Structure 1
Amino acid sequence: MYRLYCETRHKKQTVTIASSTVYCELFRTEFNLGFHNPSKDRCDFCVSFENLSLDEKNKQKQLYNDHHRNKARVQEKKIKDKEESRTNKKKLSLCFDLQEVLMIPHSNASVLFNKRKLNTFNLSLYDLGSGQAVCNVWHEGIAARGSNEIGSCVFDYLKCAHERGVEFVSLYSNSCGGQNRNKYFLTMLWYALTNFGFSQREHNFFIKGHSKNENDSVHPTLERVSKDLDIYTSPHWAGVISAAKRYVSYHVSDVYGNRRYHVSKEFENFDLEKMNNRCKQLGGYLLQPDDRQEAAYAVMYARRTGWGPFFTGITDQKSEGGFYYYNDNKPARYILWKWFQPDNWYNEDCVEIWTDGFNDRHCGTRGRYICEVPA
């Protein structure tokens, strides 16, 4: 615009031409003008309506008004449920959305540009009442991204909500038929309603093209922090997601085989009974590897996420060297010890996972712990 201004002044043979700084200042302060940045993922119906002729707009005006009236009604209801959830702990207002595909490897290395990449998925569930987001992460080698996978993640969240006393559930999502607007997802909701005894359950769908919700603050944050990072595994993605926010971090649920991992967010004094009860509230128990593959994955998980070390459900409190799983008292057969471990240094009776293997540690030590939940 400044260039056009200069060209116009030259054509008029005007000697005095304002500098670009003066032009920008007057443009922004004196004329009340600004530049509009077009929105991404705009509604197809709204865009097509804007491109119609005046006569065609008059014919479609009623449909256009109904379209925006329905959009406003859903958003107003979401705001109302959000306020109620903040004051009523028995009501859950949950908004969920699947992020665009995350690639593995994720790197700026030129050699990777034309390589076949592994798709990784992130389903974000945002609790409108508490403002806490839970990110479910898995890759295409574990599962797809259809109604079964979306339904499983939402079902696990509803199960945890039921165990903390929630009675009223209000869900919000887009209208994707292949993921959440189908008979399979509806069957899951009916099963949750009958088994968990929710007094009220409703599923609200955003109008297509107008699905603005709180998850739109989660996904851009992840895109921004991962822009210049090299990421090679799904646990690495989980670590990036967990560390994306400085103060209130996102809770990450990582999927491995037919189980899910939940890592505690805060460092605190480890207590086997207390932490195992917390895991039970999530529908699981402290980590207890069932085979060497899971034990190796747990070590790799600690290394890739950067969260380690974290405590497991393995202990030898009953008999020195007789390690067993605290949750079911079965012998712990699959432990990939670090070099020169276990050493029982001053009665170390608990087991934690480091980036290079398992290590025995004092049970009262501060740290994180990891829960294992059957998926």
Structure 2
Amino acid sequence: MLSPTDPINHALFYKQRFKSFNFTMYNTISKQGDCFIWPETEGKRGSCEIASCLYLYFKSTPAVVNHILYFSDRYRGQKLNKFVAAMCLIAVQLLPHLETTDLKCMVVGPNEMERDSMHSAISTEHKIIGKVNWSANWMTIARCDRKKGDKPSTVDEITNKQIIDWKSHQKCHMTFRKADVHGQSINWLYFSKKTQFVINCK
């Protein structure tokens, strides 16, 4: 997401603009969308930022939630990598209410998930408003992106203090391979308190 934007001022297209990043989660049970937004001054668009947003989401779940099933695309640069796996491995050990997490990855090719509707709604709301002056304006747009009758999206502003260096955690605590012990590719990861610091895969 870029700022400023102005549909009338076409000269902005040729200018270097300020970037903001948005990581979205959609709860298919509660029909609640969550947006984690941060400007480029607070962090990049990398795996540590994505893993930190996931960890914050896991922490925010109610105490009655002991199992999280999470679907992801196969973008290895951000989501399907050893750093996100390290976060899940540590999260099930540190968070008292979380017993297990499933990380399932979509098959290669065109796909669509519920969270894509959130990006579409944000884009539609942006077209209605038209003008964005600063990064904080994107947070307002994200809060107003849902249709009438739907729950408004929860928007969390991420700072660099909330971004954890999961790469260092991975190097210290685990060895991650692209294939399982049988040499098969990994499409599904399962983390449990009962099997401490073990990644189960399918």
TM-score (norm 1): 0.40
Partner SS state of residue 226, structure 1: helix
Q: Which among 95, 101, 105 is matched to residue 196 of structure 1?
A: 95
Contact 1:173 1:211 in 2 (8 A): no
Partner SS state of residue 155, structure 1: helix
Summarize deviations over 1:251-308 as a string: whole Å, max 9, x none.
1111244259xxxxxxxxxxxxxxxxxxxxxxxxxxxxxxxxxxxxxxxxxxxxxxxx
Aligned position for 2:199: none
Aligned position for 1:175: 74
Q: Tell me the distance in 2 between the aligned counterparts of 1:209 and 1:104.
A: 31
Aligned position for 2:142: 241
Q: CA deviation at 1:110?
A: 2.0
Q: Which among 37, 59, 62 is matched to residue 159 of structure 1?
A: 59
* 1:34-183 aligned within 5 A: 102-108=1-7, 109-161=9-61, 163-183=62-82
Summarize deviations over 1:158-186 as a string: whole Å, max 9, x none.
0111x522111111010111111111111
Asked whether 1:206 is paired with 2:106, we answer yes
Asked whether 1:255 is paired with 2:158, we answer yes
Q: Tell me the distance in 1 between the aligned counterparts of 2:11 and 2:127.
A: 17
Q: Tell me the distance in 1 between the aligned counterparts of 2:160 and 2:99.
A: 33
Q: Tell me the distance in 1 between the aligned counterparts of 2:20 and 2:108.
A: 25
Q: CA deviation at 1:111?
A: 2.6
- Tell me how many residue pairs correspond in the alignment: 158
Q: CA deviation at 1:242?
A: 0.5
Structure 1 unaligned residues grouped into runs of 5+ = 1-101, 261-375
Aligned identity (percent) is 24
Distance 1:259 1:155, change over 3 A: closer
Q: Which has the larger radius of gyration?
A: 1
Q: Tell me the distance in 1 between the aligned counterparts of 2:28 and 2:54.
A: 15
Aligned position for 1:55: none
Summarize deviations over 1:171-212 as a string: whole Å, max 9, x none.
101011111111111100000011125332210001122331
Larger relative contact order (C-alpha < 8 A, sep ≥ 6)?
2
Distance 1:257 1:179, change over 3 A: closer
Q: CA deviation at 1:142?
A: 1.1
Q: Tell me the distance in 1 between the aligned counterparts of 2:68 and 2:158.
A: 25
Contact 2:118 2:145 in 1 (8 A): no
TM-score (norm 2): 0.73
